[in-house]
Amino acid sequence: MNSSSKKVDKKRRVVITGLGVVSSIGIGVEEFWKNLIAGKSGISEIESFDTSNFPVHKGGEVKKFQPEDFIDRRKIKHLGRASQLAIAATKLALQDTFLNNKETQEAGVFIGTTMGEIQELENININWLKNGITNIDRNSIYLFPTNAISINVAIRFNFNGWNFLMPTACAGGNYSLGYAFDLIKNRELDIAFAGGSDSLSRIAFTGFNRLLAMAPDKCQPFDKNRKGMMLGEGAGVVVLESLEHAKDRGAKIYAEMSGYGLSCDAHHMTQPTSEGVASCVEKALANSSITAEDIDYISAHGTGTGQNDKVECSAFKKIFGDRLKTIPCCSIKSMLGHTMGAASALETIACCLVLRDQIGPPTINYKTPDEDCDIDCIPNSAKKITASTVLNNSCAFGGNNACLIFKKNGG
């Protein structure tokens, strides 16, 4: 992204030292990972709002989240749900990396999102219609501005460094990591908390239903009979820092982020192109100074919609050729649903754990092979793999593509 005017230090390496997860299959990295490799589905009946007027009633709702476990009870009412999820994921990442308050004072915050705090705007509209405009709580204005999510994370933990909200929809988490990566490479930052957060909302649920993009009960990425995506919610935050900083404090290192690529299809608001996705992957490989032959595992965007899965596989074939059939290529959205701005951040966390444990999580609900998606999607059951370099691909409305590459342990 070339986020600074300073020259990038190509020798400075960037590593991931902390992981924080709030998801429909687990809160905390180990519960998340245990359920992910077990192929557990987080799809259930939605309880946060009435879905009786919709054809779909299920989603990846986080049912066990208790904000008071992470936030002072007195402050919860002043935070939208997406901020609550982001704060919880950040706290978990902070606990995982063992940084103290002094070390993180100048840390940066970078959060991706699709809907921001849209559910808070929904609540204002509901109260307006029921009680009139003069009875709306004036403090509610602080709850829904999109940048409230990254600001609330900074306020909660007193992070005084760079602060950005990336509204690049379903690729927002990867965009956030890319921006943080640049700043650390540029020596603008030593530590960054980067990821994504989104909560379920009526507006998002309505929108994807009206686009006819929703499956009735399950997500089946790459399956010939796939019927669409399942909407989800959650937050994923990782700690990025320079390798020398991590080594100096004796931090554990999950992975090294070696580079990223961005592209815009400039084609259509909802329909991706294989050329745009392939361009993004090519840029990520070049930025990482590696070739397609080096990739051992792919975390696919894999929404379960007919067009997206077909286009993504077509793009991968352009890059990897016949070798694609031998590269494990999973979509964890089959279990989580599509968590929008949190999706690629949660997939980054999964990539780090794939490198740590050498296990590829499954793409569940897979039954019928599709000739247009003839890849090794790790159908239904996790498997042992050998992976030193992995790729995390994400796409978003408007053709915003972001691809990250990670290597095993930055030591």
Residues with catalytic function: 170, 301, 338
Rounded Cα–Cα distance for residues 311 and 273 (Å): 6
Rounded Cα–Cα distance for residues 119 and 339 (Å): 15
Ramachandran quadrant class, 137 (left: phi over 0; alpha: psi -120 to 50; beta: rest): beta
Point out which residues pair with 263 in neighbouring strands: 401
In 3D space, the residue among 149, 394, 133 whose CA is nearest the CA of residue 260 turns out to be 394
Handedness of CA 239, 245, 249, 252 (dihedral sign): positive
In 3D space, the residue among 189, 191, 294 whose CA is nearest the CA of residue 238 turns out to be 191
Q: CA 374, 377, 383 angle in degrees (round to 5)? A: 140
